[in-house]
Amino acid sequence: MKLTIIETGRPPDIIAARFPRYPVMVTELLSVHVPELAVETVALVEGEALPAPEAVDAVLVTGSPHGVYDPVPWIGPLKSFMRRCAAREVPQVGICFGHQLMAEAFGGRAAKAPQGWGIGRHSYRVEHSDGFMAGHCGRDVHMAVSHQDQVLEKPDVAEVLLASDFTPYAALAYRHAPAISFQGHPEFAPDFADALIRSRRGTRFPEDLADAALESLATGQLDGDLVGRWIASFYRGSVRADSAALAA
């Protein structure tokens, strides 16, 4: 299966030398469940051009330090790209920033949340179990998070998959197109999530909030592999039968 990863952000410079870039994290997450996975990365952060929707088989949009409202020149074209992929029934997944931008592209709204920063390990209840979500066993799902923005208004065409009191629209599935998205970061390993919080403790994150987030990571599991399996199952069930992305 061929996946085009749209890279919209990088790990902070202070820890970048210790960890891979987000497309590598995503590839490691998914390749366990899709051994034949082939990946190409489009680095919007370096000014690379978006491909034509007809030239891609499946898409994933990464997290980013930007907000969907920032005056960044590639944000508008990326929204249009998402809508054009939807029209061609190209399967799409959004993570964090990608989740928020997908909601905006399809009629919702994302902005800074009145709840403030969400960091550490967050737990979500399953509001709706879609066909690709085998294996959750009715329990809560736990993911690493790092976000100040959220989807505040859900698109009419979206159904809520995961939710919490802090993040009511934590994962969405779209009914007009093969598209799903997650506010959390299934690709974040515990050591990266820990290092990210420590690098921003006392600067972007208040110390007490950062300390509570670090404790949450130390005392509970993350379900990144489960969500990675969901994403792989979603792609397998959504890639068009005539697409080159299907394995032989």
**Predicted confidence (pLDDT) per residue in 65-99, tens digit:** 999 999 999 999 999 999 999 999 999 999 999 99
Q: What is the mean pLDDT of residues 222-231?
A: 97
DSSP string, 127-169: S---TT-TT-TTS-EEEEEEESEEEEE--TTEEEEEE-SS-TT
Virtual CA dihedral for 56, 227, 168, 195, nearest 10 degrees? -100
Q: How far is CA 224 from the centre of its chain?
A: 11
Q: Is residue 7 part of a domain?
A: yes
Token readout for 134 is 């085998």
Q: Is residue 159 part of a domain?
A: yes
Residue that is written with structure tokens 């050591």 in the block? 191
For residue 120, what are its two tokens?
A: 């550490």
State the CATH number of the domain containing residue 190: 3.40.50.880
Residue 247 belongs to a domain:
no
pLDDT digits (tens, 9 = 90+) for 26-68: 999 999 999 999 999 999 999 999 999 999 999 999 999 999 9
Instruction: Please report, for residues 36, 70, 88, 168, 177, the alpha-carbon distance to residue 143 in angstroms, rounded to integers and kept in the order given.
Output: 26, 26, 31, 15, 25
Q: Which structural domain range is residue 220 located in? A: 2-238
Residue 244 lies in a domain: no
pLDDT, position 134: 80
Residues known to be catalytic? 96, 185, 187
**Per the structure, how many domains does the chain have?**
1
Residue 98 within a domain = yes
